[in-house]
Structure formats: structure tokens, C-alpha cells
Structure 1
Amino acid sequence: MTELIRQGITRRRLLTGTAAVASGAVAGLGHGTAVAAADVLRPRMLRPGDTVRLVSPASSPSAAAVRRGEELLRGWGLEVEYGEHALDSYGYLAAADADRLADLNAALADPTVRGVICTRGGYGVQRIVDGVDRRAVRQDPKPVVGFSDITGLQLWLWRNAGLATIHGPMAAWDDARTGPESAEALRAALMTTDRITLKRNPDELGADVEVPGRATGILLGGNVSLLAAAVGNRELPGLRGAILFLEDVGEAPYRLDRMLTQMRRSGVLDGVAGIALGQWVDCVGAPGTWTVSEMLRDRLGDLGAPILGGLPIGHGAGQLTMPLGVPATLDTAAGTLTAEPAVRDVSSARAAA
């Protein structure tokens, strides 16, 4: 999305409509319904020698940046394949809708592919997400990595298949933004079953937003623009009892206000257990208007849920990785968000049996 913003093309100019392809939903994961740990479908963790496939369900990535990401993944002992259209370009999309969807579904269905890593966000997931092969996801769950526009896919995968996913840096790797700590965080989320704990960074925009308390629940959410665009559509799961994670980039506070107000009015924020705030990159308003922190306090502070700001997840420098669709605990006194892994160790389970 940062590249599109530099070009003057922002998500608010691109979020227009979706491909209307019929798709069923998992019973009990619909709008307004509480979620439970028993609903979580965890793929197995990756091991050296496993194959991951890079796909571009949204905008076209920089080929050079993707090659850097491939180098990183191979350094972890993984084999890397490319979706047929992963490096293509089609207007502001990576490829035509049918081609992007075919690449994604092929990766989800191929038994030799053990992980699916998106190359970048931008825009385009909304146009294809209703055609995702739910049966393939349920029969052979795999880690799916992405953020930004990929939020739409991650929401759909949770609501329609119960799949835990990974919110983290994508294959179009930027060493200046995501250094060794970011790389290690992503590797750990994919290749270990360790719990993940993020600590509040007081230097992050919005770190001063807090409603004291402690909450547990399924961690869901992502990019605010995509969450707001999902209201009324097939990808938005129920958030009652969940810990809601929010972040965004390049949106003025009043625009974020509009999105959060839409979510409030629709009722999707009713009953959230806690709110985890990530990075708010370039979310700055005109002089004399509310800051993003002031806006967040106004729109979220009266929901009756603990709020923790300043978490290093989102579009900013030093972006870390966090599982989505898993049980998590938010603790404002400790300044931490701790989540169960998105993946499971199949070898340990077999040994125990």
C-alpha cells in the first residue's frame, strides 16, 4: 500500500465493490456471533524442505523485492515456488481477477505446497475473495501470510473455514523497513509453535491510547480500511468476545473516524473483549484537528473494553508478526499482547499418540 500511496493511489480510491461469487460460511462464525478456541483450524508448522508458494491476490509487487524475500525464505531451508501470475501486472492489480483467484486456489489445493505467502497488499482481494476454495482450505490447511489488503482474505478464511492465519511481512521484502528482528519474528511464527508476545513500543503513534484492563479472546482484525469495507459482506466474522486488532496507513484521522463510526453503527464492535492497536503510519490530520490518538480514544474508549496501543504490527518500520484467529491475552499493565501459535506441531502429536 505504501507504494500506491507514493503514486497518489490510496486504498480509499480503490475499495469499490467485490466479485459476487457465492460461498458458504461455517456455522457459528457469522456476523455478531461469539467465537471460541474450539473453532480454530491450525495448519501444521513449516519445516526445512517444505515448499511455500508466493501468490499475488491483490496488487503487483516489485520483482526485485520478491527475489529478496525468496532469498530470505530459502535461507530458512524452505523451497520457494511462484504462482503463475505472481509477478504480473494488470492496471493496479497483479493480474485479472480470474488469474489471481486461480493462483490462490491452486496454492491452497496443491498437496505439495505447505505454505502460502502473499507478495504484497495494495488492492484486489475484495474482488476475488468470495471465490476462495473453502473445501481445499478445510481439507489441507496451510499457513497463509500477509497484511494490509490481505486482511480481507484473512477475515474470509477465519469466518468461512475457521483457519488461523499469520499477520506479518510479505514476500516483497524491504530490508530498510523490516530488518533481522522482523525476519526472525516471521520465521518463528511459521516454523515454531512458540507463543508470541508483543510489547508496547512507546515511540509508536497511538502508544498513548489506553483503557486499563486485561482481556482474553480470539485475536481477529487487521487493517481498518478493509474491516470497514467488509461490513455487510461475507468475510467479516463475529467479533463479540474477540480481541480486535487495528492498524492502518496513509489515512487521515477523520477518515479513520468515518470507518470506525461505520463499524460502531453496524454493531460489529458490540461486545469486543479488548482492542489491540498497531502502527498508524502517516495517519496525520491537518493542523488544529484531532490526532490519531485523540480520534481513537473518542471512537473506541467508551466500548467498555481494555485498549492497548503502541504494538509494532502494521505498515511501519520494525513490523513484527502476530497470529490471527487464535486465543490471545491483552494486558495493559504489562503492556503486552500474547497469542497462541497459528500453527501446530504434527510430529509431536503423532509421537504422543
Structure 2
Amino acid sequence: MEGRTPVLIPKRLKKGDTIGVIAPASPPDLDNVKKAIPFFEKKGLHVRLGQHVANTYGHLAGTDEERLQDLHNFFKDPEIDGIICAGGGYGTARIADAIDYDIIKNNPKIFWGYSDITFLHTSIRQQTGLVTFHGPMLGSDIGKDTFDDQSRAMFDQLFSPETLVYDENFSPLSVISKGEATGEIVGGNLSLLVTSIGTPFEIDTKGNLLLIEDIGEEPYRIDSFLNQLRQAGKFDDAAGIIVGDFSESDPKKEASLSLEEVLRFYFARLNKPVLSGFKIGHCLPHFAIPLGTKGSLSASDKKLTIEPGVE
């Protein structure tokens, strides 16, 4: 990757602001989307749904043009102060090369989601420098009865510049490789990071802390993904690795390596900090973090410290 785009930090939210909700991937659970709206209203925010959020086009939440239109419109609209995705699934990579990144660069604002949204986190950050947020969404998380208080509290970081500290007070952490490192946090869903290889939006890990997480992938599949990133040089380039949650990853056959064995094979000899056990991903509680800001990962302290994602 040639040069590094300067970091662009979005403005914080304040009471009275309006967030726009878009569905850039699969059709979201609309009942859960509606149930999630009061969560934001209690924080003093107005909520406006994108024009095409309820659309369906096969396995997509509307055509590529419709999903792209909602994203462009909300970034251009001065009355929208932040954009939060309704859900993930599949589809964001289809629109990545059609996005007008100048619209985003000229109208920087909070952009929040995870899972399939990983492709947009990567493309937006690398094309514009905008810090985005890896966190729970309306249809897949916030609108469910199981959405917990710790996950709810993570949205507070959008209202004031807040240094986040993740240590074992939140969950047990395991050291796979020792070391200390600082760098911009990049990454997200592992399978989406792999699909970026060979595209104009290939994940750039050079000098960065790489976050990986996934859901529903057996150890042999995770092995395949990690092997591709290894052979593409992404682990050698990275300053450190943040291993998030890998839910529903138990092998379906007896003859299988464990997830722990797979992770240790790829990371134990890297001579840079690699820690696992972070509740970041398809899990509850869900520790939401900004992507593109500086982080410090310490194996000796078992701690990840993250600079604020808003100004």
C-alpha cells in the first residue's frame, strides 16, 4: 500500500443529533430494527431509517444501487450526524468499488457496524482515513431481548472522547505470543478480510494491530483463512494481533484440530504480541471499538488500550 492516508476523526454525538440507519448487506430483521430505536431515543438521539432499509433483492437488502444510494445520501445529508448499520450478512463488498469516497472524506461522520460491514470499514479507512466503529447493530443485536448492559454502555464512547481499556476485568485473556506493540487498529471479520486480498481494498496491516473475529467457522476453515493471510504477508507486516471472539466454531467432525491449536500454529512464533479472548465480535457482551485509531497491546499487562474515536 503506497503512503498512509491521514487519520480523520469524526465529531462526537450530542443530544438532539440524528443517526441514519442503513442496511448495506443482507436484509435485516425489521422487527428488531424497530425495537432498537428506543435505545437511541433514550440517549437523546433522533433516528431516521434509510429509504431502502426494508428492501429485499434475493439475499441482499435491495439492489447494489439502492444500498449505495442510502450510504451516499446519509453521508451527504448535513442533518445526519452518524450512520449505524442495521445488520450484516453479505453484500458490502459488492458496492465497495462504486462508493464515491470523496463524499465520505468531505462529510466525515460516525460510521458503526461489524461482521460483513468489515469490508466497508477497510475500504473507507484506507480510501479516506476516517475512523469507523466496530460494534453491535440494530437488527442483529440491539433490538434483541438478550442485549446486555455492558454492550449498551459501549455507545457512550460516541458522545465524548474516551480512552478505552480492555483488560481481564472484562474477560479472561490468553497470551499466545509475548511482546508490546502500538499501532492503528484495523481488521474485523476474518472471512471478510480474506476476501479483500487481491482487490483495491486489500487489508493493510503494516505497522498496525490486526483484529480478527468470526462466527460459524470450523477450525479447518479458520486455518484456511489464517493461512491465506499468512502467505499474503499480513501477519509479518502487523505490529500485533488482537484475537476476538470466534463463536460457534466447534468442529463438526471428530478428526479436527482445536481452534486453540490452529491459533497457536499461526501466532505462537510471531515474536510480537498476540492475545486472545477479547469479547469483540459476534458475542455478548460485545466490546465495541474504533478502527483506525492508535492502540497499544501489552502481553505482559494483558491489556489493550485504545485512543478515542471521536473528537
What is the TM-score of this pair, normalised by structure 1?
Answer: 0.83
Instruction: Give the counterpart of 1:120 among 69, 72, 87.
Output: 87
1:182 aligns with 2:151: yes
Q: 1:58: which partner in 2?
A: 25
Contact 2:171 2:278 in 1 (8 A): no
CA distance in 2, matches of 1:264, 1:120: 29
Instruction: Give the counterpart of 2:10 among 36, 43, 61.
Output: 43
CA distance in 1, matches of 2:272, 2:102: 35
Give the drift of 1:129. 1.1
CA distance in 2, matches of 1:202, 1:62: 29
1:196 aligns with 2:164: yes
CA distance in 2, matches of 1:320, 1:177: 15
CA distance in 2, matches of 1:199, 1:88: 41
CA distance in 2, matches of 1:42, 1:310: 28
Q: Which has the higher mean CA deviation after the structures are superposed, 283-292 or 99-108?
A: 283-292
CA distance in 1, matches of 2:102, 2:62: 24
Q: 1:216: which partner in 2?
A: 182
Q: Which has the higher mean CA deviation after the structures are superposed, 105-114 or 266-275?
A: 266-275
CA distance in 2, matches of 1:131, 1:292: 36
Q: 2:278: which partner in 1?
A: 311
1:162 aligns with 2:129: yes
Give the drift of 1:202. 8.9
Q: 1:89: which partner in 2?
A: 56
1:148 aligns with 2:115: yes
Three-state SS of the structure 2 residue aligned to 1:247 is strand
Three-state SS of the structure 1 residue aligned to 2:127 is helix
CA distance in 2, matches of 1:237, 1:247: 15
CA distance in 2, matches of 1:40, 1:122: 28
Instruction: Give the counterpart of 2:229 among 263, 268, 282.
Output: 263
Deviations 1:213-256 (A, max 9, x none): 21110000100000000011122242111000110000011111
CA distance in 1, matches of 2:34, 2:300: 41
Structure 1 counterpart of 2:181, which letter?
A: A
Q: Which has the higher mean CA deviation after the structures are superposed, 327-336 or 172-181?
A: 172-181
Give the drift of 1:300. 2.1
CA distance in 2, matches of 1:311, 1:191: 24
Q: Aligned-pair RMSD on alpha carbons?
A: 1.7
Contact 1:200 1:310 in 2 (8 A): no
Instruction: Give the counterpart of 2:36 among 61, 69, 85.
Output: 69
1:241 aligns with 2:241: no
Instruction: Give the counterpart of 2:287 among 312, 315, 320.
Output: 320
Contact 2:297 2:304 in 1 (8 A): yes
Give the drift of 1:175. 3.8
Structure 1 counterpart of 2:149, which letter?
A: P
CA distance in 2, matches of 1:231, 1:251: 19
Contact 2:177 2:270 in 1 (8 A): no
CA distance in 2, matches of 1:211, 1:291: 18
Count of paired positions: 308
Deviations 1:54-88 (A, max 9, x none): 00000111111111221111110011101111122
Give the drift of 1:199. 2.2
In structure 2, list runs of 5 or more residues that go unmatched: none
Deviations 1:87-107 (A, max 9, x none): 222211110111001111111
CA distance in 1, matches of 2:209, 2:131: 14
Q: 2:240: which partner in 1?
A: 274
Q: Which has the higher mean CA deviation after the structures are superposed, 53-62 or 259-268?
A: 259-268
CA distance in 2, matches of 1:208, 1:289: 22
Q: 2:138: which partner in 1?
A: 171
Contact 1:218 1:328 in 2 (8 A): yes
Contact 2:175 2:302 in 1 (8 A): no
Q: 2:74: which partner in 1?
A: 107
Give the drift of 1:334. 2.2
Give the drift of 1:200. 4.2
Give the drift of 1:45. 0.6
Give the drift of 1:143. 0.6
Contact 1:177 1:316 in 2 (8 A): no
What is the TM-score of this pair, normalised by structure 2?
Answer: 0.94
Three-state SS of the structure 1 residue aligned to 2:84 is strand
Three-state SS of the structure 1 residue aligned to 2:236 is coil
Give the drift of 1:320. 1.6
Q: Which has the higher mean CA deviation after the structures are superposed, 286-295 or 120-129?
A: 286-295
Three-state SS of the structure 1 residue aligned to 2:118 is helix
Change (3 A) 1:334 1:68: farther
Contact 1:177 1:318 in 2 (8 A): no
